[in-house]
Chain A
Amino acid sequence: MSGWRHPDLGQEVDRSKRLRFSFDGAPLKGFAGDTLASALLASGTHILGRSFKYHRPRGLMAMGAAEPNAVFDVTLDGRTMPNQRATLTQLLDGMQVRSVNTGGSAARDPLGALDLLHRFLPAGFYYKTFMAMGWMRWEPMIRRMSGLGRVDPGWHPPANAETANAAPDVLVIGAGPAGLAAAKSAAESGRVVWLVEEARTLGGAFRWRGGQIDGADWTEIRDATVAAIEAAGGRVLTDTTLWGAFDHGLFAAWQRHPDAPDIHWRLRPRQTILAAGAIERPMWFAGNDLPGVMSAEAALHFLILHGAVAGRRMILATSGDCAYPVAGALCSAGVEVTLADLRSQTPHAPEGVRLLRATRIEAARGYGAVHGAVLNGEFHTADAVLMAGGWTPSVQLHCQAGGKLNWDEARDVLVPRPGTSTLVTVGAANARYDLADVLAEGHAAGGGSGPAPRPTLETHWSFAPLRPDPALKGPIWVDMQNDVTLKDVSIAAREGYTSVEHLKRYTTLGMATDQGRTSNFAGLSAMAALTGQTIPETGTTTFRPPVQPVPLAVIGGRRRGALFNPPKRLALEGSHRTAGARMREYGGWLRPAVYGEGDEAALALEEARTARATAGLYDASPLGKIEVLGPRAAELLDFTGYVRMSTLRPGRARYGFMLSETGIVYDDGVVLRLAEDHFVLSASSSHVAGVILKLEDARQDRFGCDGVVIIDRTAYWSTLTLTGPAAQSVLKRAGLPDAGLPHMSVTETECDGIPLRIARISFTGDRSYEISAPTRRAAELDALLVQALGAEGGRRIGLEAVMLLRAEKGYILVGKDTDGVTMPHDLGWVASRDKRSDEFIGKRSLFTAEARRSDRRQLVGLVVDDSRGVLPTGAHVVTSGSAPRSQGFVTSSGPAPGAGGSHALALIEGGLSRMGEVVKTFHLGAIRQARIAPACLFDPAGERLDG
């Protein structure tokens, strides 16, 4: 190919603005308004990339989203965007463009030798060869040899794409002739129309084919459409890709902005008109993938819009009338054109064009670039070969929306079956190519009254359908990007992969970034021919979003980094930070892990020891505070809980579990009974939403919402927990009423006008007070307690210290010390199962054969006597013998701040009846002995709770 720039043509480039860029290191020039594709075409660069599998040289073949070959990594201002499509990327000054999937540059690729082997690398070669030889070993090498652009790991695109919603009356997809006509008639009837166009300018094929409508240039209907849309309150979005149709009429669109963050639109129109146009089919002959073999329509597009011309001596192969104006335009631009038409009955040749009738193209010849083509057995020299093989309507969005296709024999296409999706398809997407039909169809779909716009010159294009011919010699490419040849389709058929879905997966046909725009029809029609089926019998593969590659950064929008899953924040975060807290997420809440500088494990142990010696204060605000109120509150909690709460006296607290109906422990926590008809359920901080779900389920479904309500007041109350032997002294010093609260009781009181709820319950094994104040008064409570705390030698402690304290006491965390099969009796809580005669959630599941097995994994402690430190969490307890088997695992482990040494909790088969047994533990190859002990190591008699 010897591409060049026409001196006059190129209506969308600004020749006063020269831009510099480089391709594989070579400096090149273009103009403002160029795409990378047009600038490279005009520069005469032949080879733009290498094919995926065989590393064959490939050039520019198509335009827009159909282009399979020209995919680049583009670096600008030090940022590399991988896999940019040349036909859709606007040229900017200073762009450094690199070809992808090349060993060096596109022009000189050391892996190009693979091409010589390609007859030995047919479809399925990698599967067949390397699966038998150990795929894992070969996969990295195969991956290196193929693949597209390289991600720059150092650059994180900003999370700044906004997501926005809109619900227009009418959404028109595509602003070509049909889309403009539809949008205009819809807007003129007063409806809110959103017109979405992928290109930066409106007009579609009008832009390069031109046209006179109702006696005026086509730009008049364009301007009238925009005016009508804006007058009716609609919008025109250019440079916007409508990339997916989803359930219940939702569409997603990616709007690009050169100087501002992109916008991701979620559109729910009342009516949608699809005017996405059609894509020119390639033709199938040997060497049809050589650089310089190109779509005729694309050649016209680049000529008119950018003045970029593919060559000086071209062969245009066709079987239809629509290529004739292309030949004429190229000829007027100074190109020597030979038009090879398969048909014997043809229109007249445009002036200056050499027309060969009944002529078939059999092969393109050349090495690295096309040198000519074989027409009816005779070689003709050319520096570009253009193909006009008919049209494939862009029906993806119709199909994504659930639409079916009809086979239209006369027009040789699959077209949307009307009424099978909510979209109305018009224009070339509906296989209408004559401009009068296109405009009339668009006008009608938009609900237009009165006459439709009419072209000044009527066209009636006829054509002869083309099919891949397996009898032709040489490799005939079907899918350029994924290197699928006609022979590969035959192999798939021979090996039984005749379904189009199997064909796709076996050969990777249509799975590349161009989504098979130029290849799917060829693959499917070839398979139909090989299996003797019709095209409707062969069917199509399923169309799924996205229609085109969309950056994940756009779909993700702002939901990244700190906004990906924002943690809940404590009201007292500021005072914790002032005290030196290291904040960390626990169960969705940002909480203090430890306080101060230095080694975290050492700090946590020191904090825990202080709490055991005097007093510790920690923020327990995330603990659920779910209020259950009403005359039937006790009855509800009896049903939803494993432990009965109706027998709890007001002012008292009781520990219990919530099970799922499968009998598995879902959550644990303390229930406070404030009054006969008023309970507070302390759900685990990460389970609050789930516990409410179960409570509401019972309330609404079983109780019929009668006699009980549930209110989540977790955020209303902030809770500080004071624990340790000096806890009571701190409380008194702070001036808070103690009221002689016994263990497991609760009181509602106040101090200095701050309403308080004080519960004496313990998660550490020491005397503890959970003191709750309304969140807006939490700072006052915090100040009172911290001052008194210091005077008694206590300190703030973080969650890491709390974890050490609770673990040595054998207090569990559901989900950490239990798993998806743990039932309450596995934790030693058997009384409810054995004694309760009333119904409760999960009850029946506690009596199945599985639930009664004696070798269930049960929670126990594990003590190590060696001097090798803490037993790792996750270590397995294994059987002895030559084939050891896991009997369970360590769930929590750490130093024991009160008891000394270390302590671990573990779920072990039959553990509760194996006290004192010495077992083997295994972790990362290391075997250690450990002794099964009660889960509670510290103060087993519970004297300190009342101390």
Chain B
Amino acid sequence: MQIFSCPFCGPREEHEFLFAAEAGKVRPEPAEQVSDEDWAAYLYHNHAPKGASREVWYHQTCGTYFLMTRDTVSRDVEGSEFLPGAGA
């Protein structure tokens, strides 16, 4: 049972969290100018890195989406931060 850190609540057990997305994906817009390939890549192509990774997670109990930097091999959690523009 891993312990993740919510920037709002602090360290909590992993079952309180949901994975949302890999960080850094930009939603391609407007729809009319987005090719099938680019849209498919946005929806489905993930890097699933082995090792250092940066992800968006959701803390269900407080409702905060946040960025988490962690290592998918060692399971070390390096840190968590609010999404840009949020949390102030």
Contacts and interface: CB of A to CB of B under 8 A. Distances in A.
Q: Do A and B bind each other?
A: yes
B46 to A, nearest CB: 14
A705 B56 contact: no
Interface in B1-48: 1-3, 14, 18, 20, 27-31, 34, 36, 39, 42-43
Interface stretch (A135-143, A245-253, A737-745): A245-253
Nearest to A839: B29
A246 B39 CA distance: 38
Interface centre among B28, B63, B84 (most CB of A within 10 A): B63
A840 to B, nearest CB: 9
A700 B86 contact: yes
Contacts of A700: 64-65, 83, 86
Contacts of A697: 20, 58, 65
A704 B86 contact: yes
Nearest to B1: A250
Nearest to A705: B86
A696 B84 CA distance: 14
A246 B1 contact: yes
A847 B85 contact: no
B1 A247 contact: yes
B87 interface: yes
A847 B39 CA distance: 11
A848 B31 contact: no
Contact of A704 (B29, B31, B58, B85): B85
Interface string B73-88: 0010000000111110
A843 interface: yes
A432 B37 CA distance: 61
A90 interface: no
B85 A839 contact: no
Interface centre among A246, A697, A700 (most CB of B within 10 A): A700
Nearest to B28: A844
B63 A692 contact: yes
Interface footprint category on A: 20 to 34
B21 to A, nearest CB: 9
A845 to B, nearest CB: 7
A848 B18 contact: no
Interface string A685-699: 000010011001100
B65 A704 contact: no
Contact of B39 (A250, A705, A844): A844
A706 B88 CA distance: 11
Interface centre among A246, A702, A705, A848 (most CB of B within 10 A): A705
Contact of A248 (B29, B63, B75): B75
A139 to B, nearest CB: 36
B42 to A, nearest CB: 8
Contacts of A247: 1-2, 14, 75
Given A248-B2, A661-B43, A705 B31 contact: no
Contacts of B60: 689
A844 B56 contact: no
Contact of A701 (B29, B56, B75): B56
Contacts of A849: 36
A238 interface: no
A662 interface: yes
Contact of A705 (B27, B58, B87): B87
A757 B39 CA distance: 42
A702 to B, nearest CB: 8
Nearest to A843: B31
A839 B31 contact: yes
Given A693-B58, A697-B20, A700-B83, A844 B34 contact: yes
Contacts of B85: 704-706
Contacts of A701: 56, 65, 83
Interface string A704-732: 11100000000000000000000000000
Contacts of A692: 63
Interface string A832-872: 00000001000111011100000000000000000000000
B79 to A, nearest CB: 15
Nearest to A704: B85
B30 to A, nearest CB: 6
A849 B39 CA distance: 13
A248 B4 CA distance: 10
Contacts of A706: 85
Nearest to B87: A705
Interface in A256-305: 266
A839 B33 CA distance: 12
Contact of B3 (A248, A693, A848): A248
A697 B64 CA distance: 9
Contacts of A844: 28, 31, 34, 39
A724 B2 CA distance: 53
B70 to A, nearest CB: 11
Contacts of B58: 693, 696-697
A704 B3 contact: no
B10 to A, nearest CB: 15
B39 A848 contact: yes
Contacts of B39: 844-845, 848
Nearest to A662: B43
Contacts of B34: 844
Nearest to B44: A662
B13 to A, nearest CB: 9
A845 B42 CA distance: 11
Contacts of A847: 31
B65 A696 contact: yes
A432 B78 CA distance: 37
Interface in A193-248: 246-248
A104 B40 CA distance: 63
A246 B87 CA distance: 32
A788 to B, nearest CB: 40
Contacts of B30: 839
Contacts of A248: 1-3, 75
Nearest to A165: B13
A248 B27 CA distance: 34
A662 B42 CA distance: 10
Contacts of A246: 1
Nearest to A850: B36
B54 to A, nearest CB: 14
A700 B28 CA distance: 18
Contacts of B18: 693
B56 to A, nearest CB: 7
Interface centre among A246, A662, A704 (most CB of B within 10 A): A704
Contacts of A662: 43
Nearest to B3: A248
A539 B13 CA distance: 33
A248 B65 CA distance: 22
Contacts of B56: 701
Contacts of B43: 661-662, 845
B74 to A, nearest CB: 8
Contacts of B28: 844
A945 B42 CA distance: 43
Interface centre among B18, B28, B31, B63 (most CB of A within 10 A): B31
Contacts of B84: 704
Contacts of A250: 1
Interface string A670-694: 0000000000000000000100110
A660 to B, nearest CB: 10
Contacts of A704: 83-86
12 contacts: A246-B1, A247-B2, A248-B75, A696-B65, A697-B58, A700-B83, A700-B86, A701-B65, A839-B29, A839-B30, A844-B34, A845-B43
Given A248-B3, A696-B65, A843-B31, 18 more contacts: A247-B1, A247-B75, A248-B1, A250-B1, A662-B43, A689-B60, A693-B58, A696-B58, A697-B20, A697-B58, A700-B65, A700-B86, A704-B84, A704-B85, A705-B86, A844-B28, A845-B39, A847-B31
> What are the nearest 3 A-B pairs in CB distance?
A704-B85, A844-B31, A247-B2
Interface of A: 246-248, 250, 266, 661-662, 689, 692-693, 696-697, 700-702, 704-706, 839, 843-845, 847-849
